[in-house]
Structure 1
Amino acid sequence: MFKKLLSWFKSNSKDSKKTSNKSLSPKAPNKRTVTSSRIGELGEYKINIQLDQLPKDSKYLNDIMIKNPKSRTGYSQIDHIVVSPYGLFVIETKNYNGEIKGGRSDKYWRVNNRFNMFNPLKQNFGHIKALELLLSEMPDLLYISMISFTMRCRFSIDPELRKIESNELVIYDSELSEFINRKLNRIKATTDKAALTEAEVLNIYEIIHSSNITDPALRSEHIAIINKD
């Protein structure tokens, strides 16, 4: 009788462990997903705080995907666009940690001397070309390319890319509104009047906004193709 009771206890003990493990196993990935999502949301929140500090005559858009026939996916996905009376700021955000090393003409930049990333200025140049095509009726628009990194990085880059005179700028996310305002002041000092009226700024904003592709399937396909490399 004792042996039967012992056998019954061991059997139920194993079943209990299996049940316990099954109930716990989904929690780990869920926790990681929530953490990753919150980190992304925090990054977007920080950028939006910066963009909210821009002059009232400027308008901005986030996460825009437009057609780009020269892209291998057929689209360009742009993190942020600021439409100001003096030009368009096209902003690409990067979330890396460590030393960022590279020059304007390099095909690849190095991250911590461990791996390559495609030169973000060249990537953003493709985004600007897609916008130029979309806004082809306004060929004289000024485009300023900005690459924003988190404060977890340190730069070993072409020093010209940190100078406000350049139309290609590499900055920290906490400097975004400062650099845009400095660039606007620089342009204002060299021109008699704004290039765009309030109505033209609004028109450009509406063209980009109405051209934004929001179809989840197309966006997922675009990301999947990019992530293949």
Structure 2
Amino acid sequence: MFKRLFNNSSKQQLNKTSLKEGKKNKVENTRIGEIGEYKINLQLEQLPQEFKYLSDVLLPSKKTKSGYSQIDHIVFTTHAIFVIETKNYTGVIYGHRNRTEWSLNGKFNFTNPFHQNYGHIEAVKSILPKITNENIVSVVSFNRRSTFKVNEELRKINSNDLIIYDIELLEYVTRKLNVIKLSSSQPPFTTADILNMYTTVSEGNITDKKIRAAHIRTLNGQTQETPNSTGNSTCKTCGKVVSSKVTQYCLAHSNRFKGNVYCYEHQKSHF
């Protein structure tokens, strides 16, 4: 009897362990982009209270095919405005600041993220005409599963173009502000300016689902049907709804995905 109870208990424990492990694998495989964004947001929440930030901002842009520019994060501080582009690529990132295209593992090309972020910065400047390039720091963030083979100056804190790992965001923002403070006798913005800029961009942020869906369709090379009823893109293989970051990743690798969008699981079949 005791043996039977012991066996049953062992099976139950094994089943619980298997369920936990299965759940963990599912999170790791299908929500990498979301986890990366969570790590960024967690650090942004630790900024001083007088600073402000916005995430997932869609602004009008005359220089893009869709007519809009989608910005991952904007941080408003008294000494600088940080415009942040996040990437969730895994592998070796090869690139040069002045090159139009960078590559992942030397095989898959994607647009120079600083060129991409330049468009975002121009969109921000269009509704905040008082700011200048000297007041803006362009930040490109990759997850820790990537390795950089890029210009050394892009990692140096004196640069206004910075490439970082997502877990370094708070550190780099803090260090960059300290460097700016040492070279500037007075901050270019007051706390009132920060609030006004934050409010202006927040009010200018386009939240209309139809417009956002049309923007995604344009990025995806689609012109007619909405990807699905929620306005998000779906995996071509299984029909699963994917995030905008997954969509952008697939579109950035058109040679590999042929202009289609795939969830993380079905991206593997295209390596």
What TM-score do you get using the length of structure 1 for normalisation? 0.82
RMSD between aligned alpha carbons?
1.9
1:177–1:169: structure 2 CA closer, same or farther, 3 Å change rule? Answer: same
* Equivalent-residue separation in structure 2 for 1:109 and 1:34 (angstroms): 26
1:155 has 2:148 as partner: yes
Q: Contact 1:88 / 1:141 at 8 angstroms: preserved in 2? A: no
1:34 Cα shift? 11
Unaligned runs of 5+ in 1: 1-30
1:73 has 2:58 as partner: no
2:163 aligned residue (153, 170, 173): 170
1:140–1:162: structure 2 CA closer, same or farther, 3 Å change rule? Answer: closer
* Equivalent-residue separation in structure 1 for 2:100 and 2:172 (angstroms): 25
Q: What is the DSSP-based 3-state SS (H/G/I as helix, E as strand, rest coil) of the residue aligned with 1:106?
A: coil
1:39 Cα shift? 3.3
1:39–1:52: structure 2 CA closer, same or farther, 3 Å change rule? Answer: same
1:119 has 2:112 as partner: yes
* Equivalent-residue separation in structure 2 for 1:54 and 1:221 (angstroms): 33
2:76 aligned residue (83, 102, 123): 83
Letter in 1 for 2:158: E
* Equivalent-residue separation in structure 2 for 1:151 and 1:34 (angstroms): 14
1:190 aligned residue (172, 183, 190): 183
1:215 has 2:208 as partner: yes
1:60–1:68: structure 2 CA closer, same or farther, 3 Å change rule? Answer: same
Query: Which residue is equivalent to 2:230?
Result: none
* Equivalent-residue separation in structure 2 for 1:89 and 1:214 (angstroms): 22
Q: Does 140-149 or 188-197 show the bigger shift?
A: 140-149
Query: Which residue is equivalent to 1:181?
Result: 174
Q: Does 141-150 or 122-131 show the bigger shift?
A: 141-150
* Equivalent-residue separation in structure 2 for 1:118 and 1:220 (angstroms): 22
What TM-score do you get using the length of structure 2 for normalisation? 0.69
Q: How many residues align?
A: 198
1:58 has 2:51 as partner: yes
Letter in 1 for 2:199: E
Q: What is the DSSP-based 3-state SS (H/G/I as helix, E as strand, rest coil) of the residue aligned with 1:174?
A: helix
Q: What is the DSSP-based 3-state SS (H/G/I as helix, E as strand, rest coil) of the residue aligned with 1:193?
A: coil
Name which structure has the greater RCO, CA cutoff 8 Å, separation 6+: 1
1:32 Cα shift? 7.6
Letter in 2 for 1:81: I
More strand by share: 1
> Which structure has the larger Rg?
1
1:141 Cα shift? 6.2
Cα deviation digits, residues 106-146 of structure 1 (max 9, x gap): 01001011110100000000100111111114447611000
* Equivalent-residue separation in structure 1 for 2:197 and 2:208 (angstroms): 22
Unaligned runs of 5+ in 2: 1-24, 222-258, 260-271
* Equivalent-residue separation in structure 1 for 2:105 and 2:213 (angstroms): 29
1:57 Cα shift? 2.1
Letter in 1 for 2:101: Y
1:94 has 2:95 as partner: no
Q: Does 139-148 or 65-74 show the bigger shift?
A: 139-148
1:146 has 2:139 as partner: yes
Q: What is the DSSP-based 3-state SS (H/G/I as helix, E as strand, rest coil) of the residue aligned with 2:193?
A: helix
Query: Which residue is equivalent to 1:23?
Result: none
1:137–1:226: structure 2 CA closer, same or farther, 3 Å change rule? Answer: same
* Equivalent-residue separation in structure 2 for 1:140 and 1:39 (angstroms): 32
1:194–1:109: structure 2 CA closer, same or farther, 3 Å change rule? Answer: same
* Equivalent-residue separation in structure 1 for 2:27 and 2:39 (angstroms): 20
1:224 Cα shift? 1.6
